[in-house]
Structure 1
């Protein structure tokens, strides 16, 4: 296949498989909008549209079944298409938004993480009014950071979608001293929000990888020795709780300074909706799935395939 035909196949997959607009496809591929139209037509002429749009869905169905059976998941939804950064995030976010809309019912308490992935979910939520819903932040924030974390926007989007009450956790995610964190948690309004987070029957979160470019790594909250330890020993994080290759929280000193839902409390929830876009997080996701932190999964086809390959390798399959 020559480069032009390969580009046509990518364009058709983004356009038909992920539902991206031609402008979005143009930005992803670095071409003009008119070129995108020509590429899509070329894909049609070569017969790629039928193969790209239909076959990945069949492949996705097999992946859904394999993931559900391997990890005992209640629900799996996959976005199809090539891993093109923000476009695959949009596709995964759209699927996750539909799932969250179906899951949230009157009177529910929903624990909510923040970050780029969960913000993508919030942006695509449709008005789904419910009675007496509470949206509770399950981890503190990073008030002084050069990167936008979309904490406020994400909470607002979820509350507006469900006509819900916001329960914000307006404290730092990590304190300098564990004693300060313990004293803060004695404040009645903070204690109430943390207790609501523990009681929530549903949690919406993502699994992060462990790299120097991740949000918490770039903040002033971590000491350099802690960064180096996590890079060497942690495979990922959930709600800024870093875990090792067996899914156990690592670096106890940092854990004691962290204001976030504990992993054992997450595991006890009825609905644990995990949203992950991009195969760079596949290893962390595979460990989280193996540890039982996820009941409902929304991701993309490439990540799903990679997770299964990692799980098969780990078990000698």
Structure 2
């Protein structure tokens, strides 16, 4: 490229970045089409005539977010940086804080917001920090745990969220996994459950956790599974679950008796929700998170730096 062309590119860049002229103003000043100005600005950056540097932030996490969005067709991705000497609890707490901030950003008055299982989701509520009053409705997307794990009940999450946002909460008064399809159907067809079903069909926002492999001990509802359930899931190579629905590494939902006994929103129905936010981290969950991303259930993923990088590395 000759020196005159480089000089023109430099002048366009100067007027835009230093003098803060609009592209339309530059086009009028230089008698050049506005679309040409846009191309010239991109060319100036590509040639190194203009270098953009962001101070005070590690832009590596922003790059990971963009890669995740492009790779999996997400509307948004939020990557939390990792720091040395952080323990598991600190990482989980910072992820919960980021998820809480994201909920505050996207929630609107009168929204219907669903929550599924997840220790990180439970940790969100304590970090909302004076949210606006929305009169939103908060609803569980799954049934509850066993009596041994009642302190982790999803009803508690929706109750606390509704209290902080000035909304109302609905509850599922039954365990996530029932002894038979007949019992499950009886509960889900009951009169009280119809409002929950209506909310599931009209969700605006859903926050879901992502369970890892069968050897994971962090899921507080899996003690509801029978030994037969465990054996069949292992035989079918279950890689993880979302909303108490298991799937394999290829993203195939593992249908059958267990799913027929499970009280939870169907993942196919969840896909119709405008904002489905998955919140999960840890290398042990990478296969499960990646499989769920390939199923196009999520619009947004909130995770940490190490997890995001590994997801991209194995894709």
Partner of 1:104: 107
Question: In the TM superposition, what is the alpha-carbon distance from 1:85 to its structure 2 partner?
Answer: 0.8
Deviates more, 1:140-149 or 1:128-137: 140-149
TM-score by length of structure 1 reads: 0.76
Equivalent residue pairs, number: 257
* Residues 1:287 and 2:291 aligned together: yes
Aligned counterparts, 1:230-249, within 5 A: 230-232=233-235, 233-249=237-253
Partner of 2:59: 58
Q: 1:109 touches 1:196 (CA, 8 Å); kept in 2?
A: yes
> Cα offset for 1:248?
2.2
In the alignment, what sits opposite 1:46?
none
Deviation string 1:252-273 (CA, Å, 9 cap, x unpaired) is: 1101000001010111111001
Q: Which residue of 2 aligns with 1:5?
A: none
Shift, 1:132, TM fit: 3.0
Which whole-Å deviations, capped at 9, do the CAs of 1:1-35 have from their partners, x for residues lacking one?
xxxxxxxxxxxxxxxxxxxxxxxxxxxxxxxxxxx
**Post-superposition CA distance 1:182-209 (Å, at most 9, x none):** 1122211112212212321210111110
Q: Is the 8 A contact 1:85 1:278 kept in 2?
A: no
1:112 deviates by 1.0
Q: TM-score, normalised by structure 2?
A: 0.77
SS in 1 for 2:241: strand
Contact 2:146 2:221 in 1 (8 A): no
Greater Cα radius of gyration, structure 1 or 2:
2
Query: Aligned-pair distance for 1:216?
Result: 5.6
Aligned counterpart in structure 2 of residue 307 of structure 1, from 285, 289, 311: 311
Q: CA offset at residue 225 of structure 1? A: 2.0
Paired position in structure 2 for 1:224: 227
| CA shift for structure 1 position 246 | 2.2
User: Is contact 1:141–1:173 with CA below 8 Å preserved after alignment?
Assistant: yes
Shift of 1:211: 2.4
For the 8 Å contact 1:140–1:173, the answer to whether it is kept is yes
Structure 1 residue ranges, 4+ long, deviating more than 4 angstroms after superposition: none
SS in 1 for 2:129: coil
Indicate whether 1:167 and 2:170 are aligned. Answer: yes
Q: Could you tell me how far apart the structure 2 residues matched to 1:211 and 1:148 are?
A: 22
Gaps of 5+ in 1: 1-52, 312-317
Task: Tell me what 1:188 maps to.
Answer: 191
Q: Per residue, is there more helix in 1 or in 2?
A: 1
Instruction: Work out which of the residue numbers 195, 202, 206 in structure 2 matches 1:203.
Output: 206
Task: Give the alignment's Cα RMSD to 1 decimal.
Answer: 2.0
Which residue of structure 2 lines up, in the alignment, with residue 36 of structure 1? none
Counterparts of 1:282 and 1:79, CA distance in 2: 15
SS of the counterpart of 1:297? Answer: strand
Contact 1:119 1:150 in 2 (8 A): no
Alignment match of 2:262 (pick from 250, 258, 275): 258
